[in-house]
């Protein structure tokens, strides 16, 4: 198995990946929780190839585990191969989605400090400031902000760049959590909505916290709404589950 370090990224921006993300409106949190079938080793039709397969064949993803299904067949759990590739890929994605090269470290520090301290008001302020600093031109040069996954993807790449334990599209018996974040003795369950639908109410109605009730960690339920016109957080509600 070949592992690529950050030198691979410095040799050129992976523009083909950026174009695929934009064209397919790919929900980036899925990158932290990918399981694929046998087609990953057999798909070579570039016109119909899955985005995850391209990432694998290009070296951005590697096989973490092979899963033999009880009814027969094999699936593969994928992951980013190492910290260097993870950090470099997320730096590229942050720059593409937000154009925040100079402010990036400040937002990373603010978000990390808020989560590790359990300061949700500080987390909200950091997100509002981060979205407010995305240049207007970044919204007009591509169509990514026109879909709900854009806002979740921006938050995801920032959190992923911090090296946190993240599960995107986290499956429960009643639905899928947009994003689960684990840091020290805390678990954050995040749900995102564009518009007025109550994000926190969905977390509670589907009892997403139950999945982690035996983890002996403090659980935070966080519902975040976004306004397309304002291009920022429009609602932020949270509750703590002891």
Mean pLDDT of 59-77: 82
| Sign of the C-alpha dihedral computed for residues 51, 134, 159 and 199 taken in this order | negative
Mean pLDDT score of the chain: 81
Distance CA 235, CA 224 (A): 6
Question: In the structure encoding, which two tokens stand for residue 78, read together?
Answer: 């994928």
Question: Is 144's pLDDT higher than 70?
Answer: no
- pLDDT at position 72 over 90: no
Band the pLDDT of 212: cuts 50, 70, 90. very high
pLDDT tens across 89-137, in order? 777 788 778 887 778 889 999 999 999 999 999 999 999 999 998 887 6
Q: What is the pLDDT of residue 3?
A: 37
pLDDT, tens digit, 9 for 90 and up, residues 31-63: 777 788 776 666 666 566 677 777 777 777 888
pLDDT at 5 exceeding the cut of 50: no
Whose CA is closest to 191, among 200, 182, 104, 183?
Answer: 200
In the predicted model, what is the mean pLDDT of residues 183-209? Answer: 94
Hey, what domains does the chain have and what are their CATH numbers?
6-83 (no CATH), 99-241 (3.40.1350)
Phi then psi for residue 71, to 5 deg, are -90, 5
Instruction: Yes or no: say if 150 and 144 are a contact pair by the CB < 8 Å rule.
Output: yes
Q: Within 118-198, where are the H helices?
A: 120-132, 136-140, 149-161
- What does the pLDDT read at residue 199? 94
**Whole-number pLDDT of residue 126:** 95
pLDDT at 164 over 80: yes
What per-residue confidence (pLDDT) applies to 150? Answer: 82
Q: What mean pLDDT do residues 60-75 have? A: 82
């Amino acid at each position: 198995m070949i592992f690529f370090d950050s030198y691979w990224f410095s040799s050129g921006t992976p523009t083909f990946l950026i174009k695929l993300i934009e064209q397919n409106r790919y929900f980036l949190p899925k990158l932290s929780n990918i399981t694929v079938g046998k087609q990953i080793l057999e798909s070579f039709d570039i016109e119909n190839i899955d985005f995850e397969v391209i990432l694998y064949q290009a070296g951005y993803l590697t096989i973490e585990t092979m899963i033999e299904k009880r009814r027969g067949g094999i699936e593969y759990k994928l992951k980013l191969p190492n910290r260097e590739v993870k950090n470099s890929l997320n730096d590229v994605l942050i720059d593409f989605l937000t154009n925040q090269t100079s402010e990036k470290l400040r937002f990373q520090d603010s978000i990390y400090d808020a989560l590790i301290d359990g300061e949700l008001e500080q987390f909200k302020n950091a997100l509002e400031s981060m979205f407010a600093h995305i240049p207007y031109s970044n919204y007009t040069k591509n169509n990514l902000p026109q879909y709900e996954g854009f806002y979740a993807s921006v938050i995801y790449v920032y959190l992923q760049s911090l090296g946190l334990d993240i599960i995107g599209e986290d499956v429960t018996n009643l639905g899928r959590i947009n994003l689960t974040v684990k840091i020290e003795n805390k678990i954050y369950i995040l749900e995102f909505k564009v518009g007025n639908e109550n994000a926190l109410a969905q977390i509670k109605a589907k009892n997403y916290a139950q999945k982690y009730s035996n983890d002996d960690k403090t659980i935070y339920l966080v519902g975040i709404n976004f306004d397309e016109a304002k291009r920022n957080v429009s609602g932020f509600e949270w509750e703590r589950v002891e």
